[in-house]
Amino acid sequence: MILPSKEFVDIFKSIPGALSVCESIAIMNISQQAPEGDAIELGTYKGKSAISALYGFTENMGFHLVDPEFSNKEFEYQTALNISRIAGSGKGGCWSRTIADISLNEIPKHDKLSYVFIDSGTHCDGLAMQEVQLLEDKIVFGGVIAFHDFKSQFPDPLTAYNYLLSTGKYEEIPINWQEIVDYVKENDLERGNDTWHHTEMEFPCFVGALKRK
Q: Check whether 119 has a pLDDT greater than 90.
A: yes
pLDDT at 2 over 90: yes
Furthest-apart CA atoms within the chain: distance in Å: 44
Residue 99 domain-assigned (yes or no): yes
- Which amino acid is residue 23, in one-letter code? E
Distance of CA 144 to the CA centre of its chain: 10
Q: Does residue 109 belong to any structural domain of this protein?
A: yes
Q: What is the pLDDT of residues 179-210, one digit of tens each?
A: 999 999 999 999 988 766 655 667 899 999 99
More confident residue, 35 or 196: 35
CATH number for the domain including 37? 3.40.50.150
Q: Please give the Cα distance from 132 to 120 (Å, whole number).
A: 12
The amino acid sitting at 66 is V
Query: CA angle, 203 as apex, 199 and 209 as ends, to 5°?
Result: 120
**Phi, psi at residue 143, to the nearest 5°?**
-75, 165
The answer as to whether 103 is a domain residue is yes
Is residue 166 pLDDT above 80, yes or no? yes
Is residue 178's pLDDT more than 70?
Answer: yes
The three-state secondary structure class of 11 is helix
In this structure, is the dihedral angle defined by the CA atoms of residues 15, 21, 27 and 28, taken in order, positive or negative? positive
**Structurally, how many domains does the chain consist of?**
1
Tell me if 185 is assigned to some domain. Answer: yes
Any domain includes 85: yes
- Name residue 106's amino acid: E
125-158: per-residue pLDDT in tens?
999 999 999 999 999 999 999 999 999 989 999 9
Residue count (the chain): 213
Considering the domain boundaries, does residue 74 fall inside one?
yes
In a domain, 1, yes or no: no
The residue range of the domain holding 203 is: 6-212
Q: What is the pLDDT of residue 123?
A: 87
**Alpha helices, H only, 47-109:** 48-56, 73-84, 103-106
Coil vs helix vs strand at 22: helix
The predicted-structure confidence for 59-78, as pLDDT tens digits, reads as follows 889 999 999 999 999 999 99
DSSP state of 70: G
199 within a domain of the structure (yes/no): yes
pLDDT of residue 197: 62
